[in-house]
């Protein structure tokens, strides 16, 4: 916390980022919105010890230890966005709950693709969900993070951390511009990933539909909270078994033989071995 060099770097980054402001780029009939938070992220990366060396290894460690707390201010603000819209959110709650099934779309495309490009059991970890913290914890508990499934889920997790925010922001503006979705539906879908992915997507949408900005943010935040609750159970009961099944089917299609059976981590095994 007393790393004033880090705070000074961040202060400069945000002033520059906010000075630049939103940039709308017209692409065909739609537009992509670039947000100050995206420049702040990219400039933050650029200060890395391995690039411009503006921030030191120590700054990097402090920044990563502070992240959890800094997110709380945003979460407080989200709470106050959800409150005033609560009647509207309750009215829309069936959509908020059921859209978790959208995750199954991931598996239908993701698992066969992963097998097709040559991943083995990594496919199950990688494509069973959008791979945020709860999913990583789940895979870690079931298969161990050092196993193939663990490598898969960690790979997508790291990708999400590095490119997820910008990816979600751009994806939301493209979807709003080119696909026939209502902004509310896109706002709800924004909640599937981490809080920063949701914020980037919600930010892009509110820049495109300023008159609905508060509702969009409220739906995104509500969906993000709900995903945190029901998403994990969806993964355990539906997504993982389905991914496993589809993996066997895809594997047989590509290689013509059945895949090797999964190595489920069994904590009791080691103990038995010692007893003998």
Pick 74 or 263: Cβ nearer other proteins: 74
Residue 252: CB minimum distance to other proteins, A? 20
Residue 271: CB minimum distance to other proteins, A? 27
Pick 97 or 275: Cβ nearer other proteins: 97
Pick 184 or 273: Cβ nearer other proteins: 184
Pick 86 or 264: Cβ nearer other proteins: 86
Residue 58: CB minimum distance to other proteins, A? 11
Residue 4: CB minimum distance to other proteins, A? 9
> Both tokens of residue 109?
């495309």
Pick 84 or 241: Cβ nearer other proteins: 84
List alpha helices for the chain, DSSP H: 4-20, 36-46, 57-82, 86-91, 93-98, 103-116, 122-127, 133-143, 148-178, 183-189, 195-208, 213-234, 240-255, 267-275
Sequence-separated (6 or more) residues with CB below 8 Å from residue 7 = none
Helix (H, G, I), strand (E, B), or coil: what is residue 25?
strand
Residue 258: CB minimum distance to other proteins, A? 22
| Per-residue exposure over 164-188, b if at least 16 CB sit within 10 Å of its own CB, e if not | bbbbbbbbbbebbbeeeeebbbbbb
Residue 7: CB minimum distance to other proteins, A? 6
Q: State the DSSP H helix or E strand holding residue 121, giving kind and residue range, or none if neither.
A: none
Which pairs count as long-range contacts for 229-233, CB under 8 Å and 24+ apart, including other chains?
Answer: 230/97, 230/100, 231/100, 231/103, 231/129, 231/134, 231/135, 231/192, 232/134, 232/135, 232/138
Pick 98 or 270: Cβ nearer other proteins: 98
């Amino acid at each position: 916390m007393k790393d004033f060099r880090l705070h000074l770097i961040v202060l400069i980054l945000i002033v520059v980022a906010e000075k630049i402001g939103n940039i709308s780029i017209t692409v065909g009939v739609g537009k992509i919105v670039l947000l100050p938070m995206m420049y702040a992220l990219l400039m933050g990366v650029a200060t890395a010890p391995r690039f411009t060396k503006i921030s030191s290894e120590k700054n990097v460690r402090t920044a990563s230890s502070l992240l959890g707390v800094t997110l709380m201010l945003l979460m407080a603000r989200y709470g106050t966005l959800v409150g005033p819209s609560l009647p509207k959110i309750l009215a829309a709650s069936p959509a908020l709950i059921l859209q978790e099934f959208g995750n199954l779309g991931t598996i239908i495309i993701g698992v066969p693709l992963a097998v097709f490009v040559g991943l083995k059991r990594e496919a199950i970890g990688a494509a069973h969900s959008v791979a945020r913290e709860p999913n990583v914890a789940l895979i870690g508990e079931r298969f161990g993070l050092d196993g193939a499934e663990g490598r898969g889920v960690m790979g997508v997790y790291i990708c999400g951390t590095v490119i997820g925010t910008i990816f979600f922001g751009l994806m939301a503006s493209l979807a709003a511009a080119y696909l026939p979705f209502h902004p509310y539906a896109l706002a709800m879908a924004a909640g599937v990933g981490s809080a920063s992915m949701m914020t980037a997507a919600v930010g892009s949408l509110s820049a495109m539909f300023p008159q609905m900005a508060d509702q969009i943010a409220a739906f995104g935040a509500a969906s993000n909270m709900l995903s945190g609750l029901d998403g994990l159970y969806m993964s355990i009961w539906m997504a993982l078994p389905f991914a496993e099944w589809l993996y066997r089917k895809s594997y047989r299609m590509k290689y013509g033989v059945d895949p090797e059976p999964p190595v489920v981590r069994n904590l009791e095994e080691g103990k038995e071995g010692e007893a003998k």
